[in-house]
Amino acid sequence: MRQSKVLTIGEVLVEIVATERGDGFREPVKLIGPFPSGAPAIFIDQVGKLGQAAAIISRVGDDDFGHVNLDRLKRDGVDVSGIEVDPLGTTGSAFVRYREDGGRNFVFNIRHSACGTIELKGPAADLVESCTHMHVMGSSLYAPSVVDAVLKATRTIKENGGTVSFDPNLRAEILNSPGMREALATVLAETDLFLPSGEELFLFSPADSEAEAIANLLKSGVKAVVLKRGAAGASYVDATREISLPGFRVTEVDPTGAGDCFGATFVTFWLGGADPETALRYANAAGARAVTRSGPMEGASTRAELDALIAEQRS
């Protein structure tokens, strides 16, 4: 059997965060950053940090924001041969300010940044052939060439006998952009592991209850649904089992990245042959650790750090 290798495709950004809560950016505010970011980048960093072979296809500019990401991903063991450095491009960015009510305001530069165009050519095309698992982030379907690249890679990896995981990671506003629902439905049809959070469970399976939505998804060919429940933990359901585990008790500092670290850890343990309860426990621990650090990728964990949290809270 080939050694497993996880691939993802999508936005690589820096995040710059307002240090004080409030409404948006219409007045000067104190900022901290740049932090390496982008949902697929956070996901793949966590996979690499757990020692699982991992790669990402994206584009950055030949600027400090690009190098912040390349350096971090390389340090954590991610194959960055599929990140093209565009000498004329500018790395994507997101400015984020938390409101008093816990909501967030963003100023994004993604579509017109270096990662606004991603193509499967050269080293990126080689990576698709060498990887055995594809992880799709719904948030990465932000531009036509990126949608194409994601759909093509997903198809190829499936045809080569690999597996697919899918985190819709969507806000309702993006859902109605042209072609989005069709692209998402195409991904779902190839999905083995579906990882929604909260209401995302009902995106493709309108139903009156969680159980009914999950049953519909399993009937449509998804092998397992892993539902993220924030501080309350997570659930795993497949054709034969249903497991729910509570969240770990931690102090939340910055929730960004929790879902990505959770998904990365679940997928890594699942590919490694762990039973679903073990995979869910470690994923919960990774999500919990992620919220204790400010900066989206700063809370990614090593195996030893997850073991320590699990040991500490085993009652």
Q: Which does 248 bind (CB under 5 to 8 A by kind): Mg ion, ligand ATP, none?
A: ligand ATP
Residues 227-266 that bind ligand ATP (CB under 6 A): 228-231, 233-234, 247-248, 250, 252, 255-260, 262
Q: Which does 116 bind (CB under 5 to 8 A by kind): Mg ion, ligand ATP, none?
A: none
Helix (H) or strand (E) holding 224: strand 224-228
79 binds ligand ATP, rule: CB under 6 A? no
Shortest spacing between CB 56 and ligand ATP, in angstroms = 17
d(CA 306, CA 312): 10
67 binds ligand ATP, rule: CB under 6 A? no
Residue placing its CB nearer to Mg ion in the complex, 61 or 138: 138
SS (H, E, C) 258-278: HHHHHHHHHHHHHHCCCCHHH
38 binds ligand ATP, rule: CB under 6 A? no
C-beta separation of 17 from 272 below 8 A: no
Shortest spacing between CB 45 and Mg ion, in angstroms = 15
Locate 274 and state its tokens: 């762990």
d(CA 58, CA 81): 10
259 binds Mg ion, rule: CB under 5 A? yes
Residue placing its CB nearer to ligand ATP in the complex, 128 or 204: 204
d(CA 226, CA 231): 15
Shortest spacing between CB 206 and ligand ATP, in angstroms = 20
Residue 226, beta-bridge partner list: 236
- What are phi and psi for residue 100, nearest 5 degrees? -60, -35
Residues 173-202 that bind Mg ion (CB under 5 A): 197
d(CA 159, CA 54): 19
User: Out of 287, 297, 299, 300, which residue is the one contacting ligand ATP (CB under 6 A)?
Assistant: 287
List C-alpha distances in Å: 53 to 58, 77, 84: 17, 8, 19
Site residues (vs ligand ATP, CB under 6 A): 169, 197, 228-231, 233-234, 247-248, 250, 252, 255-260, 262, 284, 287-288, 291
Site residues (vs Mg ion, CB under 5 A): 169, 197, 259
